[in-house]
Structure 1
Amino acid sequence: MRTLKLWLDRSLTAQAVLIFALGLGLTAVFHRDGHPGWWVIRTALFTAVVIGIVAVQRRRTGRAAGTGPRGVAEINRRIRHREVPEDPEERAAMRRLLAEQLGRMERGGRWLPYWLGCMGLVAAGLIVLGALTGSLTFPLVFAVGTAGFCYWVFRMRRRSMELHRDMTSALRDPR
């Protein structure tokens, strides 16, 4: 499992294969009546768009850190394991990557209440529609799932920001 995770972390091709396989399966489930050739074409188009977006983000992150995609993957692994590098160049690259990621999380945090509020409104609307139609099973399951997802987002965001702030302060401390 570790090698698969490393392969997905470092290889854009591996990510494309995984996205294509999952997309093809979902397309087959939701469009059973369609021709399998259209499934493949539609999935290939979506995969190309997603991989294009991922490639641009990887290049932007690599430029911010001053290293390539493999270096960014290695720095992210070290951040997750709270390993502070000894090499001054690696410390500088980690410092730049932490600043970029922390800034992105803080900028995204401004919109987070609006996104979560929108999700809550959709869940509340589904509950109202379910009450009007007499079927509350799906709306209640969706509302509980939405609440669980919102809690998970808040928890993971808080953990990530604490980790990034701790690592930033650890990089500032002289050894």
Structure 2
Amino acid sequence: MHTVKNWFNRSLAAQALVLFVLGLGFGAVFRRGDHPALWAVQSLLYTAVIIGILAYQRRRTARATGARPGTVVDLNRRIRHRDVPADPEERAVMRRLVEDQLGKMERGSRWLPYWLGFMGLIAVGMVVLGATSGSLAFPVVFAVGVIVFCSWILWMRKRAMGLHHHMRSALRERG
């Protein structure tokens, strides 16, 4: 399982394959009346857009840190495990990576309340529409899903910020 996880983390082709299959599955479930070729074309389009965005982000992070994308993946794994490298060059790359990612998270925190508020408005709007139409089952499930999703985002952000702040201080101590 460990090698499959590492292969999936490093390979855009593996991620593209999983995205395509998931898109095809969603097309089959939610667009039963359409032709299967349409499912495949839509899934291919969505996969291409998402993989293009991921490749751009990987390239941008690699340029910011001065490392190859594979090295960045390994360093991110080491950050998650709170493992500080012994090699000074690797520590310098990790320091740049931590600073880059902390900067992104701190810049993103400015918009986080607005996004969460927007998600809350959508959930409340769905419940109101459901109440006026007489069907509350789907809107309530949707609202609960939005609340769980927003809570998960906040928890993951707090966890990532804690990990990165820990790594920043650990890298400064050994620096």
TM-score range, shorter chain: over 0.9
Q: Which residue of 2 aligns with 1:126?
A: 126
Amino acid at match of 2:117: G
TM-score (norm 1): 0.95
Equivalence map 1:23-172=2 (5 Å): 23-172=23-172
1:60 deviates by: 0.5
Structure 1 residues without counterparts, runs of 5 or longer: none
- Are 1:20 and 2:20 matched, yes or no? yes
1:44 deviates by: 1.4
1:174 deviates by: 2.9
Q: Within 1, Cα distance between the matches of 2:126 and 2:31?
A: 24
Amino acid at match of 1:102: L
1:170 deviates by: 0.2
Please identify runs of 4+ aligned residues in structure 1 that moved more than 3 A: none
Matched residue of 1:152: which SS?
helix
Q: Percent identity?
A: 61
Q: Which residue of 2 aligns with 1:8?
A: 8
Greater CA drift, 136-145 or 74-83: 136-145
> CA RMSD of the aligned region, Å?
1.2
TM-score (norm 2): 0.95
Q: Within 2, Cα distance between the matches of 1:77 and 1:174?
A: 19
How many residues align? The count is 175
Q: Within 2, Cα distance between the matches of 1:134 and 1:38?
A: 34
